[in-house]
Amino acid sequence: MMKKLFLTILFCFITSIAFAASKTFIAGGVDSNWSTAGNWSPVASVPAAGDDVILDSSSPNCVIDVATNALKSFDMNGYTATLSGTANLIVRSAANTTTLCRLKYGGGFTWSGTLALRPNATNGVITFTSDSANGVVLDSITQTVAGGTVNQGDAVVITNVLTITTGTWNTNGYTITCDAISSSSATNVRAINCTNSTINITGSGVGLTFAASDTLTFTGTGSTWNFTYVGATASSVNIAGTSGDGVTLPTVVVTGGGSGAWTFNCGGSTFGSFTITNAPTTIKFTAGKTLTISGNFSASGSSGNLITLSSSTAGTTSTVNIGGTITAAYWSIRDITNSGASAPFQLDNNSKGGTTDANVIGFWSKKTISDAGGNWGTASTWTEGVLPTSLDEVVATGTSGNLSVNTSNIYLQGFDLTNYVGTLSNSLDIYVYPVNSGTWTCKFAGTNSWTGSLQILPYVGTVNLTSGGKLSSANNINCRIGTISLQDNLTVTDILIFSGVFTTNNNIITASTMGSGGSTSARTLNLGSSTITCSGLGNAWNFDSTDLTINASSSTIIISNATATSKTFKGGGETYGTVTFSGDNITIADSNTYNTFNVNNAGLANGLILTAGSTQTITNFTTNGYALNLAILKSSAASLATLTTGSAQISEDYMNLTWVQPTQADTWYAGANSTDGGNNGNWIFTAPPSPGVRRIMMIQ
């Protein structure tokens, strides 16, 4: 009995081999259906498992109306008609055999079934070409059941999913464009080789799945992975293994433009570079995991369309390890830490974020003064229900209530009271300390009874300061690092510029004193055509010469306090436009250059004092002295102070001069009504001759 059964099975096997054949879809058949036996030649039977199927130049339109058997090969070379239908096409190579699956556009290609490629696990190979260049678009492809190799012969375009659950897929450098790629198996060994290929993932939902990547061998050297989806549906890239291993994708580009977020569940993986374009786009990284980006990171949104980076779980940090350069603008970040060589992140002024991680610089969020207002140090004062922290931006609305600065805050990213109509009060300091490149806002509005100091310390970038006429002589401004740019006229008590750049933008400044507090750090003052009035005592204008640049050739500086208490003008050896000394007992501490030097202290007791041994270089010299009220100019000691000019003539009157000597012997006229207090060499105490008389004297 067993022998008979064996012979029967053997006969069936031999018969199947004997009848494996080449079948051609022929013209003049019964109809256009694959399932009709009369459409096939040389034997009028539907292709069986193991058959070679041919659609050639003589074949008519073909409709795959039933799922095919597992064909040995499928070849449409030369086909000029249309392949259609919705049933599946299966191609399976034999062991130790290389076979062909060659598709052709022909006169059209509307077939929308699944192409199942099943190369034999024992060295079976299918060489697959799709003719996508001429318009072949496949619905979906699966490589399942067997474990052999599929070799791409050209670019492939797939409407839905490429599924690889066993065996090897080699792109051979060709492009794949599809809705998604899925390779997920906890047990099947798989190998995907995408060397030098471009992979375009264009769908929503799960765009890429490399699950159980410890059973997957992935080679992607030189490959580019483009994830493109514009829409509202969430999408994801899932790369994970039971041991937590990931893969390396050399170049990753995400192109968004919709409200749907891309989530990269890729802990343990490495991206060579990561670029995000076409905002608005939201990118999420797995909470509690680390994604390595060994190269550059780029994320550039636009005004009103930010690129958002966040952890997949709010409040739980996700880590990216970025080794290259970060180029980003108009982006929003939350719960992301950069642990790489490029740390910390630097956000520009058009970006926002929030984190408590100390390794991140530039993450900020807004804290809004609530309608009820209250004390700075009370959580309910803020619409968000939490106190502002370092690098937050404090903002107000038109309905925000009064705010009492009862807590000294530090390192705000910005302070913007645009539209505020409430009252700012109390006396503790406000610190604006943006640590990112770009332009930030410090703006006052409403009613101000606050009397604290404004500390502006831009680590880099610029703070635009708008006082709105709300700051007063009760407030001080301290400036460090970065750039402070005035947006309107400013009135305060003291302005201290310890380092960085201070640009007035031609606005008027009224202060008690202005200086750098003895700092020798690099400082630049761009004074434009501003008029700056310093009305205080002591060091009214006080800049040390070390690392100092003052661009003041068009500006006017007025030292105005007329009390007898001493004042000092220390110019740092710089060149000034117009400086008017209208106060009393003012000492110029160093040597400077002036376009116009005004000694306007007529009738005051002590006058203007030049430090002995100093030299003032002057183009235009004026005073405001008159009868019985002389303008006083003198040296600080019984030793000469020097004046020098490049002008042809200096002429004034009604002065009281002591120990002040010009370097030019025939240029400086003190006038007939001035008093020579002694030791004033080279002054001519007469009125200058008329131009005609002077010419005659020179000829003689």
207 and 300 fall within a common domain: yes
Q: Is the pLDDT of residue 229 over 50?
A: yes
337 in any annotated domain? yes
Number of domains the chain is built from: 3
The whole-number average pLDDT for the span 566-592 is 98
163 and 239 fall within a common domain: no
pLDDT in tens, 646-655: 999 999 999 9
Residue 299 is predicted with a pLDDT of 86
The whole-number average pLDDT for the span 394-413 is 88
205 and 112 fall within a common domain: no
118 and 214 fall within a common domain: no
325 and 251 fall within a common domain: yes
Quote the domain boundaries for residue 602.
Answer: 596-700
Residue 154 is predicted with a pLDDT of 96
- Place 362 in a pLDDT band, splitting at 50, 70 and 90: very low
232 and 145 fall within a common domain: no
Q: Is the pLDDT of residue 7 over 50?
A: no
pLDDT in tens, 452-498: 999 888 766 789 999 999 998 888 888 877 899 999 999 999 999 99
Residue 242 is predicted with a pLDDT of 38
172 and 303 fall within a common domain: no
211 in any annotated domain? yes
233 and 357 fall within a common domain: yes
In which region does residue 469 sit, left (phi positive, over 0), alpha (psi from -120 to 50) or beta (all else)? Answer: left
Q: Are 123 and 151 in contact (CB under 8 A)?
A: no
568 in any annotated domain? no
Query: Hey, what long-range contacts does 678-681 have (CB within 8 A, 24 or more apart)?
Result: 679/635, 679/638, 679/640, 681/640
Nearest residue to 157 (alpha-carbon basis) of 186, 140, 137 = 137
The whole-number average pLDDT for the span 307-313 is 83
- Place 318 in a pLDDT band, splitting at 50, 70 and 90: confident
205 and 131 fall within a common domain: no
231 and 259 fall within a common domain: yes
Residue 412 is predicted with a pLDDT of 85
pLDDT in tens, 231-269: 888 888 888 753 445 788 999 999 887 777 888 888 888
162 and 236 fall within a common domain: no
Instruction: Please indicate whether residue 431 or residue 16 has the higher confidence score (pLDDT).
Output: 431
259 and 215 fall within a common domain: yes
- Place 679 in a pLDDT band, splitting at 50, 70 and 90: very high
Paired residues of 198 in beta bridges: 224
Q: What angle do CA 422, 426, 432 make, to 5 degrees?
A: 80
Residue where a domain terminates, one of 334, 363, 392: 363
Instruction: Please indicate whether residue 200 or residue 348 has the higher confidence score (pLDDT).
Output: 200
258 in any annotated domain? yes
pLDDT in tens, 346-359: 555 455 554 433 33
Residue 15 is predicted with a pLDDT of 38
14 in any annotated domain? no
3-state DSSP of 430-468? EEECCCCCCEEEEECCCEECCCCEEEECCCCCEEEEECC
The pTM (predicted TM-score) of the whole model is: 0.57
Which tokens is 336 given?
Answer: 């992301």
Q: Are 670 and 684 in contact (CB under 8 A)?
A: yes
- Place 667 in a pLDDT band, splitting at 50, 70 and 90: very high
Which tokens is 408 given?
Answer: 């000294």
C-alpha distance from residue 617 to each of 30, 558, 638 (Å): 110, 18, 21
Q: What is the identity of the amino acid at 679?
A: N
SS3 at position 40: strand
From the number of C-beta atoms within 10 Å of its C-beta (0-12, 13-18, 19+), residue 697 rates as: exposed
pLDDT in tens, 599-633: 999 999 999 999 999 999 999 999 999 999 999 99
Which residues lie closer than 8 Å to 495 by C-beta, 6 or more apart?
Answer: 476, 477, 479, 502, 509, 511, 513, 514, 515
Residue where a domain terminates, one of 326, 343, 363: 363
- Going by the DSSP 8-state scheme, the letter that residue 158 receives in this structure is B
The C-alpha atoms of residue 165 and residue 145 are separated, in whole angstroms, by 8
What percent of the chain is predicted at pLDDT more than 70?
Answer: 89
What percent of the chain is predicted at pLDDT more than 90?
Answer: 64
396 in any annotated domain? no
Which residues lie closer than 8 Å to 198 by C-beta, 6 or more apart?
Answer: 175, 176, 223, 224, 226
Residue where a domain terminates, one of 178, 205, 228: 178
The C-alpha atoms of residue 580 and residue 562 are separated, in whole angstroms, by 13
Q: What is the identity of the amino acid at 589?
A: A
187 in any annotated domain? no
Q: Is the pLDDT of residue 84 over 60?
A: yes
643 in any annotated domain? yes
